[in-house]
Chains A and B, each alone.
Chain A
Amino acid sequence: MASLDDLKKRISSVKSTQKITKAMKMVAAAKLRRAQENAEKGRPYSEKMNNIILNLSGGISDKESAPKLLIGTGEEKIHLCIVLTSDRGLCGGFNSNIIKKAKSYFKKILNDNKTLKIITVGSKGYDQLKRTYKDYIIEKISFKESKNINYFDADKVGKIIIDRFKKKEFDVCAIFYNQFKNVITQIPQEQQIIPLKSSEEKKDSSSEDNYEFEPEEDEILSNLLPKNISTQIFKAMLENSASEQGSRMTAMDNATRNAGEMVDKLTIQYNRSRQAAITKELIEIISGAESL
């Protein structure tokens, strides 16, 4: 059994850990509010962008000549997966949830004998994926230096994707991120961005809006689609950062509570062994006195 001194040391070490997790929770809570605001502020842009694209693609008369970014290359051989994760750990199941979702998708693709390419955004995703999928990772991007998520970073990722698409390096592109629902729930998402999902296209053909286009639809579309990709990535990054903070907050809250329980348990153990020691000493004194 551990000595009294050891127990004391353990209690104080657990207490200081608790202090840290508590502080991290507070920081995450403050950051969460900001991230959530940002995510909400960013929504109108991506929604409007989506609407315009839907209206536009509905207006396209000649499907054959439509930009490749919209309709795809006509093949489905090479899949590019963009896995968006955080740069920091200690945020509960946040990263592993995305990775789990991504891995099941990877398996499906590899089972179908298709080629897989992976780009990781955020260092944690790379760390987890490099064990099994190292050969498939073609690029890793990390924005550790930039404090806040900005559109500029998302645009960089978007440009990389488009560049690779133009070089015909892949046919289908999907992104993986966590969608922020509330502080406790974040849903890992898989979203296909190239070609745009046809299910969404169908919706708009019912809306009978007659738009005038200037210049022609094709030209607007070819200008707009690359922007849309950056926008989608940006949206994913915003959602991700809100999710990360939310997830970290819950994880740290749990850790603080666990540490509290542990301190209680250790204190009881400490008191018990202290009492046991006293009793033992008393017995020794009494039996010593009796023997005289």
Chain B
Amino acid sequence: MSNSFKLDIVNPEKSFLSKEDAIEVVVPAFEGDMGFLKDHISIISFLKPGLLKVIDATATEETYYVEDGIIEFKNNCLSVLTSNIFDIKKMDKNKVKDILTEAEKDSQNNDISDQTKYLVDQKIEVLKSLTLN
């Protein structure tokens, strides 16, 4: 029996990625990374900035950078709704730096709430790890 499930990543403009044969997906959920295998319990959660990993039946691993979003898992179908998602491989180093400087500027701002601060810090951390590679 196959142990794959369906994965849909959509952003407001279009369907970003659709896979029938995802084996494992790791998403950066708000309260920590979350791994999905087949027959996961139905769940709704939202994302913090981080890396989204997809492993499909051919055992290839793809990594995406997401900034925010919502995930829903139901009947072996994982839907990821996000407004900002980038393929790491196609991502320009300069672009990463741009977002990073933007985020650092945000974190200097003292008016933001703790939650936003947490999100921005997460973002900086992830982006820094990206620029190192």
Instruction: Say whether, besides A52-B72, A214-B29, A214-B30, A234 and B46 are in contact (CB < 8 Å).
Output: no
Contact mask for chain B residues 8-22; partner A; CB cutoff 8 A; 1 contact, 0 none: 101111110000000
Partner pick for A151 among B13, B29, B34, CB 8 A cutoff: B13
Interface of B is mostly: strand
Name A124-163 residues within 8 Å CB distance of B. 150-151, 154-155
> Are A214 and B43 in contact (CB-based, < 8 A)?
yes
- The answer, yes or no, to whether B91 is at the interface (CB within 8 Å) is no
Chain A residues with CB under 8 Å of B83's CB are 151, 155, 227
Chain A residues with CB under 8 Å of B41's CB are 212
Q: How far is the CA of A154 from the CA of B13 in the complex (A)?
A: 11
- The answer, yes or no, to whether A18 is at the interface (CB within 8 Å) is no
Q: How far is the CA of A178 from the CA of B30 in the complex (A)?
A: 37
Partner pick for B12 among A42, A56, A209, A215, CB 8 A cutoff: A42
Q: How far is the CA of A220 from the CA of B30 in the complex (A)?
A: 10
> Are B44 and A52 in contact (CB-based, < 8 A)?
yes
Chain B residues with CB under 8 Å of A42's CB are 12-14
Min Cβ gap A3→B in Å is 58
Chain B residues with CB under 8 Å of A155's CB are 83
Q: How far is the CA of A213 from the CA of B72 in the complex (A)?
A: 10
The total of chain B residues at the interface (CB under 8 A) is: 23
- The answer, yes or no, to whether B3 is at the interface (CB within 8 Å) is no
Name A17-65 residues within 8 Å CB distance of B. 38, 41-42, 44-46, 48-49, 51-52, 55-56
Closest B residue to A224 using CB positions:
B70
Q: How far is the CA of A51 from the CA of B14 in the complex (A)?
A: 17
Min Cβ gap A57→B in Å is 12
> Are B45 and A220 in contact (CB-based, < 8 A)?
yes
Partner pick for B44 among A38, A151, A220, CB 8 A cutoff: A220
Instruction: Say whether, besides A45-B81, A224-B70, A213 and B45 are in contact (CB < 8 Å).
Output: yes
Q: How far is the CA of A214 from the CA of B46 in the complex (A)?
A: 8
Name B90-122 residues within 8 Å CB distance of A. none
> Are B15 and A44 in contact (CB-based, < 8 A)?
yes
> Are B44 and A55 in contact (CB-based, < 8 A)?
yes
Q: How far is the CA of A42 from the CA of B29 in the complex (A)?
A: 24
> Are B13 and A38 in contact (CB-based, < 8 A)?
yes
Chain A residues with CB under 8 Å of B12's CB are 42, 45-46, 151, 154, 231, 234
Chain A residues with CB under 8 Å of B72's CB are 48, 51-52, 55
> Are B13 and A150 in contact (CB-based, < 8 A)?
yes
Q: How far is the CA of A199 from the CA of B13 in the complex (A)?
A: 28
Contact mask for chain B residues 28-41; partner A; CB cutoff 8 A; 1 contact, 0 none: 01110010000001
- The answer, yes or no, to whether B74 is at the interface (CB within 8 Å) is yes
> Are B74 and A41 in contact (CB-based, < 8 A)?
no
- The answer, yes or no, to whether A223 is at the interface (CB within 8 Å) is yes
Chain B residues with CB under 8 Å of A213's CB are 43-45
> Are B70 and A49 in contact (CB-based, < 8 A)?
yes
A-B residue pairs, 9 tightest by C-beta:
A41-B14, A151-B12, A212-B43, A214-B45, A45-B10, A211-B42, A45-B12, A44-B10, A211-B44
Which residues of A does B touch, CB under 8 Å?
38, 41-42, 44-46, 48-49, 51-52, 55-56, 150-151, 154-155, 209-215, 220, 223-224, 227, 231, 234
Which residues of B does A touch, CB under 8 Å?
8, 10-15, 29-31, 34, 41-46, 70, 72, 74, 79, 81, 83
